[in-house]
Amino acid sequence: MRLTRIGGPTVLVEFDGWRILVDPTFDAPGRTYAFGWGTSSRKTLGPALGPEAVGPVDLVLISHDHHADNLDDAGRAFLPSAGRVVTTRSGGKRLAGRTGDAPVHGLAEGDRVVVAAPRAGLADLEVTATPCRHGPPLSRPIVGEVVGFAVRRTGESRVALWVTGDTVLHAGLRRAAHALDVDVAIVNVGGVRFGLTGPLRYTMDGREAVELIGLVAPRAAALAHYDGWSHFRDGEAGLRRALAAASPDVRERARWLVDGTAVTL
């Protein structure tokens, strides 16, 4: 499997002939985006690759469409060139009719869809929505619906790719980690906080990411979505501190991706 970090949560995944793009964000840095309820964040880093450099993709996975750090204007413009789009159930409704000829599948937690192979010789893929809680308890009415994705070859139980999505570590995520047999995980971190809501966190910090990697024990855990925005308060520094204090097993599984360069895992 080859992973290319583009920026934020945006990662190009290539395996078994498939090209999968996670949470497309291609806007230039410098702009401040509203996140609802008086919160906002400024984009501080641009993408390592533009849409033209990424090229055609067979499948786009969007953990949620309503926050610009996971789907921005340039990312939306990219969707009609994709083969298929899978996102949340509510996001599927919002994106309907806006992705050109690319079909949109909206999933709630636990839902699954089989994505037919786009070319001869490729295996079909099964995509299952995994649990996310994008904030403290009872925050979903405010932060909206978010999911992760477990991607399997049809007929196989092992998960080839697990994308955690934007989430804190909570009971549902721990149960999923115990239940999944994962080859490669993309773990979104960063420790998002906003001044308006004080100490409340909306994504995992480094300490929680280390715990999750230990629970799921993937062959490799690629680290993502920890920089490039002003709302990351734990960020790369917190993640490195947590990994330095982690067990040797977790440190061996954790992988830092290189911006704009394909890394083979």
Q: Please state the separation of Cα 38 from the chain's center in Å.
A: 24
Mean pLDDT, consecutive 10-residue stretches, the chain (265 aa), reads 98 98 98 92 98 97 98 98 97 96 97 97 97 94 95 97 98 97 98 94 98 98 98 97 98 97 97
* Type of residue numbered 4: T
Say what the pLDDT of residue 102 is: 95
Q: What is the DSSP letter of 101?
A: T
- If phi > 0 it is left, if psi is from -120 to 50 it is alpha, else beta; for residue 136 that is beta
| Residues 6+ positions from 179 with CB-CB distance below 8 Å | none
Say what the pLDDT of residue 128 is: 98
The Cα 56–Cα 162 span in angstroms is 22
Second-level CATH architecture of 2-264 = 4-Layer Sandwich (3.60)
Handedness of CA 244, 245, 249, 255 (dihedral sign): negative
Say what the pLDDT of residue 187 is: 98
Neighbour-count burial of 141, counting CB atoms closer than 10 A to its CB (0-12 exposed, 13-18 middle, 19+ buried): exposed
CA distances from 156 to 59, 112, 162 (A): 19, 14, 14
Say what the pLDDT of residue 37 is: 82
pTM of the predicted model as reported, rounded to 2 decimal places: 0.97
Say what the pLDDT of residue 58 is: 98
Say what the pLDDT of residue 38 is: 87
